[in-house]
Structure 1
Amino acid sequence: MTATQPDDTHLMGGEGLDVGTLNLMLEALGDFVEQELPADRQLQLDHDDVCPEDTVRAMSGDALGVNLVFVPEEYGGMGGGAFDSYRVCERMARFDIGLATAVFATFLGSDPILVGATPAQKETWLGRIASDGIVFAYGATEPDAGSDLGALRTTATPVVEDGAVTGYRITGRKQWISNGSIADAVTVLALAPGGPSWFVVEKGTPGFSSSPPEDKHGIRLSNTAALVLEDVLVPVEHLVGGVEGRGLVEAQQVFGYTRLMVAAFGLGGGWSALDRAIDYSQQREQGGAPLARKQGYTHKLVVPHAVRLEAARAIVEETATRIDAGQGADGALNTEGAIAKYMATEAGNAAADAAIQAHGGYGFTRPYVVEKIRRDVRITTIYEGTSEIMEMTVARDRWQAHLKSRGAFYRDAATALDALHGTHPDVGAGTAALASRCLAEVLEACRTGRLTRNQHVLLRLGELVCAVETAAAFARKAAAAADGTLADKADRRFDAAALATMSRVFAREAALRVADDGVRWVVGAADAPASGGAVDAAALAAALPLDAVRAAQAGLVTDLDRVADVLYARTS
């Protein structure tokens, strides 16, 4: 077997499926899941804490073949790109995030093979996924390591015969493994003499076992179990790529992509819950009128969450487009993927929580489903990197960008948004530019005061970065919709006018958050012993365009009314 360097172009470059094929897959997926997993069966499986393995395997078999979207054409798949995968993942999550997790786990498990395997290994394992529908799992997380893949303790000891390595003996434990009990094969990250490396371990290998499935808060239709490896012997051909020590590099290369798929789960779960709240509010009357006609209901429990979900979609779609254009090689879009995951999963959680409130007492009961969705969507802020890891990832990268550009990074972004405002004055780009300028000033105040020595301040900066860059992406999407240049495969639930209105609402929120929270944390950290520097609060307040940010809030309630009209398909 010949060793090879990682294939940095896996699913990162190329248009993927054509629009017609994607739409057919989405339609077939919806029909299949509705038939196989009606609401009453979902609720019963959730109650019994049972993974519908038959359905998971049928989805990857001849009955549907959803697994083919994630496999390149040369290995028998359909060669879907990031945009295709996001649309498929969101559609699955709209039905059940546990089921979506089980299907996605096969892709995630095969990802080290896609990135770093030899041609022969790809032919073997990807070919089996495509032709036989085998189920994979991704064995990276460990009981004591969590999101820190570099802290792994699972070891791979070479077996040497006649001076040559013929295999490895793997010993260790893996925790929180999706498909852990049902997978036919697992990619396991283990510490070899040359460094962290990926190995393929097949079910039934002596010494390889799984613990009983976890009794989880949510996604109970997903099988999640710990894996135990006790002196498990695998042949040298199962070392992915035939080279030791590339495991962490290969994992980092695809975070931008895989986190985008979890972001799609947040969108799917959030909208599934919110649509139920919208339907309920049109049927439920109080005080002689439907709840749907009451601002106190719609403008708190429905409209803001629809706006945040669609804002998150904008950064998801923009990042997916860039990945498919080949910009995601070597993990180049990991930060954008982290922003998308953070915004979509936090928005999905908030929307599902509001949907319970929107149903009143009924929302707290199982038959109305939103209670289950809320439990399911919660995991999206935890797996594939917690929200806190996302905040740190984003903050560190953009802090370095601010320093290297001498403060120009977000000022230049604001200039570009001002130009967009000049051609599209109704998409919120001008307000997004205010948010970007505020962020530049906040970051500079943190630099002069050395405030990022406070970890909490750094994480809060990450949160603000996410809001600002999402507002910018939303404005760009709204402008593209107005110009008729929206991506062919983009979600089209809302027309250009609706997207412009939503973008204005979100830009206002982002600008106010950065201005208020930025001042709060800069001033709040200035007196802390760890800061080691002084901050001129008055100078920061003078540098921030606070009056312009407040003035930009004008028209907010009118725009909330307009969004409500769109969501409820009413003309007045």
Structure 2
Amino acid sequence: MAGLDTQTLNMVLSTLQKYAERELTNAYLLELDYKDEFPHDVLQALYGDVGLHLLFIPEEFDGMGGGAYDIYRISEVMAGIDLGIATGVLATFLGSDPITVGGTPEQKAHWMGRIANEGLLVAYGATEPQAGSDLGSLKTKAEPVIEDGKVTGYHITGRKQWISNGGVAKIYTILANAPGGPSWFVVEHDAEGFTKGKPEDKHGIRASNTAALFLDNVYVPADRLVGGVEGQGLVQAQAVFGYTRLMVAAFGLGGGWAALKRTIPYSQVRIQGGAPLSQKQGYTHKLIVPNAVRLEAARSYIEWTAERLDGGEPDLQTEGAVAKYLATEAGNKAAEDSIQAHGGYGYTKEYMVEKIKRDVKITTIYEGTSEIMEWTIARDRWQLHLKTRGAYYNDWAARLDKVHRTEPYNGAAAAAMALRALAVVLERCRIDRLTRNQHILFRLGELIAYAETAAIFAERVQSHPTTAIPLDVATRQAMARIHARDAALKVADEGLRWAIGAGQTDPNLAGSLNLPGIYQAQAGLIEDMDFVSKKLNEAFPAE
């Protein structure tokens, strides 16, 4: 398995948290946000004193060789401190990835060694003004310079938009169309003809630097072509999505919990009607418990995906998309509900939940919007459904039946209902060709994300307890049951709605989805929510 040993990871986490407690106070972070200021000194300290950038660099290039699990843990903690600063760290990881994935041995040794030893900020130059995340619509051009019949360099011309670290990086990886196809090039910050736009005035993550890049006939030597072969750019970009989307998923997780960790203690001291809000179901069961449940379901899926990546398993882009989709949507909702939970106070800039909400929203946008995630999930799992002739989710449900027999309190039975209902909806979409409607395909992506996270949460809640949050196994089992019930009802109810809305032809579809059984499975829901609410208050007491 790739990655750090537990002792080293805990040391890095402890060093990071101690630095944040000492230097990154709420007052300082709010000041950065107000001034829209990129904190160069903080990034230098995180790289120089904490060595955070070394986590992403292989040991042979003077790095620490962290794995996907380590990246998730560090990313969650960073996001819980400040998502803007975390984004500056993400940008260096993302910017160096084309070299890590596709560089020649010489390129890796040179550039990764420089990033490690000089603590250089890096930026990833892929997104363009009119293309967004559609890398296939690339406009930036790389024209070869030929001398004596040999390519000696390239002139790059084009524009990049929404580039994190765009105005502050020292090294840029730029995606451009060469004659052989899309290719990555390494461009240094002071190259002639390379200019940067003013920092974007953003809604959130204002401690990060985001700027446009302008390349006007910028010359780079041929040895700056990543991998030394043209046309490998899109393959190299796709190869890192499993990791980078997992990192952004952890940002959503960390941001959502940062909001809840303020809201839960607040509910204990805010008195309404003679009792604290923490004792009122109308408050806790709407604004706190569902958000904590979704976040922990997302965590389970993130950890499952990270372990598979560290085990060397390829082609986990779909799992990365599921993790990013649920974790960032859950984090965004948790932050929004935390404003509501604080009432008028939450709407003021004095309270950190207002800033967290503005910050965490970006996680549903960058590294692929939630809508792109829905499409990616649905497209890939649709192919699996067709390839297995509908067996994929039914077989998974059968495995969950076995889990339920040995571990009956994990929510596996309800998760199995969600998967079987999902298989029915997918098959009905195949028979009636409902995926001709784009909206149906996107909604399938959402339903798949809920069903799969419910299944993984149920499978792992007891056998793989997390150490990242202070909740015992019994509490997480109750959370898994809540999420499984929610997923089953969501898949069956919304699947039926959209299938009928798109013109499905089965008069007995509602019966095939087992709606009566799914409704019956909701028994005990309020009791579980009461238990989770109580345990959250114990885990996060007011000071």
Counterpart residue number, 2:122? 136
Whole-Å separation in 2 of the counterparts to 1:479 and 1:253: 32
Whole-Å separation in 1 of the counterparts to 2:469 and 2:525: 24
The within-5 A match list for 1:275-424 is 275-328=261-314, 332-424=315-407
Q: Is 1:45–2:32 an aligned residue pair?
A: yes
Q: Deviations over 1:282-326 (max 9, x none)?
A: 111111111111111111111110000000001100000000011
Among 3, 20, 25, which residue is 1:33 paired with? Answer: 20
Counterpart residue number, 1:510? 487
Whole-Å separation in 2 of the counterparts to 1:241 and 1:58: 32
**Cα 1:361–1:273, aligned 2, differ >3 Å: closer, same or farther?**
same
SS state at 2:115 partner? helix
Q: Deviations over 1:111-159 (max 9, x none)?
A: 0000000111111111111111011000000001001001010000011
User: 5+ unaligned residues in a row in structure 2: which ranges?
Assistant: none
What is the identity, as a one-letter code, of the residue corresponding to 1:333? L
Whole-Å separation in 2 of the counterparts to 1:523 and 1:356: 36
Among 480, 491, 495, which residue is 2:468 paired with? Answer: 491
Conservation of the 8 A alpha-carbon contact between 1:260 and 1:337: yes
Q: Is 1:555–2:524 an aligned residue pair?
A: yes
Counterpart residue number, 1:157? 143
Whole-Å separation in 1 of the counterparts to 2:243 and 2:470: 24
Among 20, 41, 44, which residue is 2:7 paired with? Answer: 20
Whole-Å separation in 2 of the counterparts to 1:392 and 1:556: 31
The within-5 A match list for 1:146-295 is 146-295=132-281
Among 49, 67, 79, which residue is 2:65 paired with? Answer: 79
Whole-Å separation in 1 of the counterparts to 2:264 and 2:468: 19
TM-score (structure 2 length as normaliser): 0.98
Whole-Å separation in 1 of the counterparts to 2:59 and 2:20: 25
What is the identity, as a one-letter code, of the residue corresponding to 2:206? R
Among 529, 535, 541, which residue is 1:566 paired with? Answer: 535
Counterpart residue number, 2:440? 457
Conservation of the 8 A alpha-carbon contact between 1:57 and 1:135: no
SS state at 2:151 partner? strand
SS state at 2:483 partner? helix
| Shift, 1:448, TM fit | 0.8
Whole-Å separation in 2 of the counterparts to 1:438 and 1:202: 53
SS state at 2:183 partner? strand
Whole-Å separation in 2 of the counterparts to 1:317 and 1:116: 26
| Shift, 1:492, TM fit | 4.5
SS state at 1:168 partner? strand
Moved over 3 A (4+): none
Whole-Å separation in 1 of the counterparts to 2:288 and 2:182: 46
Q: Which moved more, 1:216-225 or 1:125-134?
A: 125-134
SS state at 1:326 partner? coil
Q: Which moved more, 1:492-501 or 1:85-94?
A: 492-501
| Shift, 1:244, TM fit | 0.4
Q: Which moved more, 1:133-142 or 1:14-23?
A: 14-23
Counterpart residue number, 2:512? 543
SS state at 1:367 partner? coil
Whole-Å separation in 2 of the counterparts to 1:54 and 1:111: 24
The within-5 A match list for 1:428-443 is 428-443=411-426
What is the identity, as a one-letter code, of the residue corresponding to 1:509? D
Q: Deviations over 1:518-542 (max 9, x none)?
A: 000000000xxxxxxx511x22112
Whole-Å separation in 2 of the counterparts to 1:516 and 1:57: 51
Whole-Å separation in 1 of the counterparts to 2:60 and 2:33: 38
Counterpart residue number, 1:5? none
What is the identity, as a one-letter code, of the residue corresponding to 2:512? A
Whole-Å separation in 2 of the counterparts to 1:504 and 1:498: 10
What is the identity, as a one-letter code, of the residue corresponding to 1:255? F
Among 85, 91, 94, which residue is 1:99 paired with? Answer: 85
SS state at 1:568 partner? helix
Q: Which moved more, 1:300-309 or 1:493-502?
A: 493-502
Q: Which moved more, 1:34-43 or 1:459-468?
A: 34-43
Q: Is 1:58–2:55 an aligned residue pair?
A: no
Conservation of the 8 A alpha-carbon contact between 1:137 and 1:180: yes
What is the identity, as a one-letter code, of the residue corresponding to 2:100? L
Whole-Å separation in 2 of the counterparts to 1:96 and 1:211: 24
Conservation of the 8 A alpha-carbon contact between 1:427 and 1:500: yes
Conservation of the 8 A alpha-carbon contact between 1:338 and 1:394: yes
SS state at 2:508 partner? helix
Q: Which moved more, 1:289-298 or 1:428-437?
A: 289-298
SS state at 2:463 partner? helix
Percent identity between the aligned chains? 62
Among 89, 92, 110, which residue is 2:96 paired with? Answer: 110
Q: Deviations over 1:75-114 (max 9, x none)?
A: 0011000000000001000010000000110010000000
Whole-Å separation in 1 of the counterparts to 2:265 and 2:458: 29
The within-5 A match list for 1:465-476 is 465-476=448-459
TM-score (structure 1 length as normaliser): 0.93
SS state at 1:569 partner? helix
| Shift, 1:546, TM fit | 1.2
Whole-Å separation in 2 of the counterparts to 1:136 and 1:43: 25
SS state at 2:38 partner? coil
Aligned length: 540
Conservation of the 8 A alpha-carbon contact between 1:173 and 1:228: yes
Whole-Å separation in 2 of the counterparts to 1:107 and 1:371: 28
Whole-Å separation in 1 of the counterparts to 2:189 and 2:45: 19
| Shift, 1:479, TM fit | 2.9
Whole-Å separation in 1 of the counterparts to 2:489 and 2:203: 35
Whole-Å separation in 2 of the counterparts to 1:134 and 1:58: 12
